Structure 1
Amino acid sequence: MTSATQPPATSTDRPWLVRVPEIFEGVAASVLRRFGAASSTRLGQDYYLVKTASADAVHHSEAAKFARWNLPMDHTWPCNPQKMEGFIEKAAQTLLRKFGERKPQGIFIGTLHPTSPDKYYKGLASNLRGRVLQLFPKLVASTVEEQNPEAETLFCLVGKEGLFCGMQSPRASNGLYAGGSKYIDQDAPDTISRAGAKIAEALHYLLLHRPPLPQGSHWLELGACPGGMTSELLARGQKVTAIDRAPLDKRLAGRPGLKFVLNDVAAFVPRPGTTFDALLCDMNGPPEESMAQVTRLSRFLKKGGLVVFTLKVPRVETVELPCDLFNEIVAFASSAGLRLFAQTHLTYNRHEFTLFFETV
């Protein structure tokens, strides 16, 4: 995609790959303009190859919250891998030549069409990574969880459009995987709701910014019904005090570590002396009201306690309105002693963002 309102390219423009989720496709052009994109090309499912002189805008502009993942392009190879003889060997040798001396901590390769039912490129990505790992010296990070969030990783994406590669830290890219997504299986028969996938991915995303909470940590969950997030937390050895005026799914009855309070969140007050390690809020309704309950109950968090908050926004038709609401919510939280340290749009988010705060 291109826009007549975009500035002309300059000699300082650098190619970047940015992932704007499909649900934000209607505002993608506005997002890319705020990245200073001189030009852009649609790639894959929701990737855009842009040229911009402003790396800071890609990482820190207000519009950055609409980009799930980003990567500077150090090597691009437009081609059709499926029709190219010896693609894997040619690509692997090229990656060794271009990136071997830069010593990436790890190498992770994904696809430009991550949800496509066609398994060809998933297999190609896996086989290419296998061959690359044979050529490179032993790497520090062999799995995504072993990465240092602040050290550079070689990320690559492959699809019918070609091969696109760059080196950047996972934290700067906003994800530990190539493309940023962690697939969460929601087809299991014991799945209670899709909300469980959101907290599972959120906990994985948190590895970019802080160590995981130890087993036995105590969560206060606001608006827990039907219990998808509750179930995921319990499965990870966490304790949960879940509050809702509607009952939880019957499959959660008697689960160790769970205390359920059948009550309106606004009427709930913990017993004196009770403290929590983390607070989770995925409530529907006006976000101002939800954050008011979060800040009211955040005084029961331990110092450095975690808050995971889903910011529900109206249907995203402009960049400005969600940003205004975001700034309002963050300012309100800050006034109550909550510091925002990360934000993202998760794979299972819809018109919403997941915000991460900690008590100060």
Structure 2
Amino acid sequence: MTTPASQPAIAVTGLRKSYGDKTVLDGIDLHVAPGTIFSLLGPNGAGKTTTVQILSTLIAADGGQVRVAGHDLARDPDAARAVIGVTGQFSAVDNLLTGEENLLLMARLRHLSRAEGRRRATELLQDFDLVEAGRKLVSTYSGGMRRRLDLAMTLVGDPAIIFLDEPTTGLDPRSRRTMWEIIRRLVARGVTIFLTTQYLEEADQLADRIALLDHGKLVAEGTASELKRLIPGGHVRLRFTDVQEMRKAAHVFGDVQRDDDALTLQVPSDGGVRSLRTLLDQLDRAAIEVEELSVHTPDLDDVFLTLTGRPADQSTGQHSEQASTTHEKELAR
């Protein structure tokens, strides 16, 4: 099942949520195109999990309008639930059942027939490379296997939109990359992914668009490349074999960082094609020979630090996030 290309998969306007005098979401707007990966980043306590729980109908918003797959959550949450899947931060699998039994249980909860449930379970075990493990108890699974099974259970109902809330937390690098490939395959089939993650490399690798949330407000949104260009510090590194060529280049470019021992110059640049073409034209006009050229741009860690004032791995605000989660669980009951 996929979302028609004529309408956004997720459309959010003025979303607000508070717990007592604590404002968790302060009027955010989001637009997610169908068949894409949209990543929401932010420090602990920024409101990421609250956003996911509202969009997946687990809790109600205090204000704003939300449409998921064209369905207004305030008016018809059941219609939205029928086309979405949710994978939370922790695997929601039953350790006392086998992998296959977990999938069959989910099929029954989705009201699939016995034959359709078995067909779907077999198909998903194959897709997620769990055929051999399918008849083993989940208690024997590795962390990566558990996360794959968790995502497979989300897909039993063939959702058009999947919310992944920190899906690779705690996984080793190999298992994380396996999950990335699975996510890419889902999107290639037309599924829309709404991803929150604490790994900036994950958002950089996967997301078509990224939004940065801080203190309940969106502080930036764009592609990974667009966000990186917001931050100063990008440069082109030029290496020379001759000190005279380096001095000529330093005269041409003026304000540059110079290393006489390494025979290198760092020329400020946003890393874009246009600025790189301009730099090469300047070198050609001055007949300057360069041995090596490399482009260096800020990464998402730099974006995160600059726009939020703290590094991505700093656990600021953890108490408020946990407090919000406690309230959300109570409301979900």
The two structures have a TM-score, normalised by structure 2, of 0.26
Q: Which has the higher contact order (CA 8 A, sep 6+)?
A: 2
